[in-house]
């Protein structure tokens, strides 16, 4: 089975307002020939150019909620795609009032877009089904309806053992390919060979979870169960616990506790308040609870190989 490359690129990691170092929220996942963009802060299209993301891939955009710092980049991105004479459709997923916002963009711009846009009003659960993965949504705890998202790949067939196949008389070629894909084969002798006779147990795909603005919530713990990467709001440091609760955000220690409960392999803190010139104190606070943690920086990249390979 061909292994699909998966790259996570942080295009914007600030909360509420940009700084010299951090743009507004946007995270790109390049998976094979597809682009999955989570949130679209102001000037996201410029960040995509700087990060060499490209505008040609099959594109899906997932908006967490309707606060301006998470959606203000949509007009510019749509305009850029129009200027490039894109023909392929763009699908956008998000809260109920997202469709009205996108329609307003097109109406105000007075441009006949050369590509179709489909806006999906989402609820919790599976909201998008790709060839061998799904994107799932869960409502989190913010001041307006807000969704966390998980890209969850399908299970892969177990490791194939050629020597076992030969011992059972399966000739190399198409029958091997069927067994690798999980289908039984019938030999000329009439003997049926099952995949489990020549393959190991199925292997989990990758799971990446993005939770934008939120207070700590069990909804994210559930969504991020055994996640390879959990990207989580950590707007304010632990000393501002009350402000975080009032404004609908999390602190580093709270994000770390969510990651610990979920059994995530890695935690990335994002949506960092502009008040912090250095994110080192936030990192140290999270590390006391969950050691495998980093603070996102603009243009930071993560390549995720398949587990157990």
| CA separation for the pair 170, 180 (Å, rounded) | 12
Q: Is 69 a catalytic residue?
A: yes
Cα gap 226→224, rounded to integer Å? 6
Residues in the chain: 309
Please give the C-alpha separations between residue 87 and each of 37, 62, 114, 116, 194, in angstroms, as whole numbers. Answer: 18, 20, 6, 8, 45
pLDDT given for residue 74 in this prediction: 97
Report which of 81, 78, 84, 73 is spatially closest to residue 47, judged by C-alpha positions. Answer: 73
Strands 229-233 vs 207-211: parallel, antiparallel or unpaired = parallel
pLDDT at 1: 35
Query: E strands within 67-143?
Result: 90-94, 117-121, 125-129, 133-139
Mean pLDDT by runs of 10 across the 309 residues of the chain is: 78 96 97 96 97 95 98 95 94 96 84 90 97 96 98 90 94 92 92 93 92 97 98 98 98 98 98 97 98 98 79
- Taken in order of first residue, the domains within the chain and their CATH numbers are 6-156+203-303 (3.60.15.10), 162-198 (no CATH)
Q: Residue 244 to residues 44, 123, 176, 192: CA-CA distances in angstroms?
A: 26, 26, 56, 61
Unique residue bearing structure tokens 């990192």: 283
Which residue has tokens 């097109």? 106
Query: What was the pLDDT predicted at 172?
Result: 92
Helix axes 74-83, 98-109, angle to 10 degrees: 50
Residue given tokens 């995949």 in the structure block = 195
Q: What does the pLDDT read at residue 3?
A: 56
How far is Cα 265 from Cα 88, in angstroms, rounded to an integer?
Answer: 36
Q: What is the pLDDT of residue 116?
A: 93
**Contact, 155 vs 202, CB < 8 A?**
yes
DSSP assignment letter at 69: H
* Contact in structure between 158 and 203 (CB atoms under 8 Å): yes
- Encoded tokens for 136: 């799932």
30 phi/psi in degrees, rounded to 5 = -95, 115
The whole-number pLDDT of residue 112 equals 79
The token duo for 10 is 């942080």
* Dihedral over alpha carbons 280, 143, 207, 26 (to 10 degrees): -60
User: Using an 8 Å Cβ cutoff, are 134 and 155 in contact?
Assistant: no
Element (H, E) at 170: none
Record the tokens describing residue 147, joined without a space: 């969704």
pTM recorded for the entire structure:
0.90
Q: Which of 39, 69, 228, 233 is catalytic?
A: 69
């Amino acid at each position: 089975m061909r292994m699909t490359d998966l790259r996570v690129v942080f295009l914007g990691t600030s909360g509420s307002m940009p700084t010299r170092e951090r743009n507004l929220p946007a995270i790109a996942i390049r998976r094979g020939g597809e682009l999955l963009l989570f949130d679209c802060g102001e000037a996201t299209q410029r960040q995509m150019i700087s990060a060499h993301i490209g505008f040609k891939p099959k594109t899906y955009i997932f908006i967490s909620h309707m606060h301006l710092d998470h959606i203000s980049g949509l007009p510019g991105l749509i305009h850029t795609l129009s200027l490039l004479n894109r023909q392929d459709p763009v699908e956008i997923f998000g809260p109920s009032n997202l469709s009205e916002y996108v329609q307003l963009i097109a109406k105000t711009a007075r441009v006949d877009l050369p590509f179709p846009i489909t806006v999906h009003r989402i609820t919790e659960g599976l909201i998008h089904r790709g060839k061998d993965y799904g994107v799932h949504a869960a409502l989190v705890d913010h001041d307006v309806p807000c969704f966390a998202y998980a890209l969850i790949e399908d299970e892969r067939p177990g490791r194939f053992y050629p020597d076992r196949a030969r011992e059972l008389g399966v000739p190399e070629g198409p029958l091997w390919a069927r067994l690798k894909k999980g289908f039984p084969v019938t030999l000329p002798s009439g003997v049926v060979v099952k995949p489990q006779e020549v393959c190991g147990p199925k292997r989990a795909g990758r799971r990446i979870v993005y939770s934008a603005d939120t207070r700590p919530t069990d909804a994210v713990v559930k969504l991020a169960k055994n996640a390879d990467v959990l990207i989580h709001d950590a707007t304010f440091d632990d000393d501002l616990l009350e402000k975080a609760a009032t404004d609908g955000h999390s602190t580093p220690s709270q994000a770390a506790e969510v990651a610990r409960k979920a059994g995530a392999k890695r935690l990335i803190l994002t949506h960092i308040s502009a008040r912090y010139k250095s994110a080192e104190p936030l990192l140290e606070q999270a590390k006391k609870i969950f050691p495998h943690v980093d603070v996102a920086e603009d243009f930071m990249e993560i390549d995720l190989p398949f587990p157990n390979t």
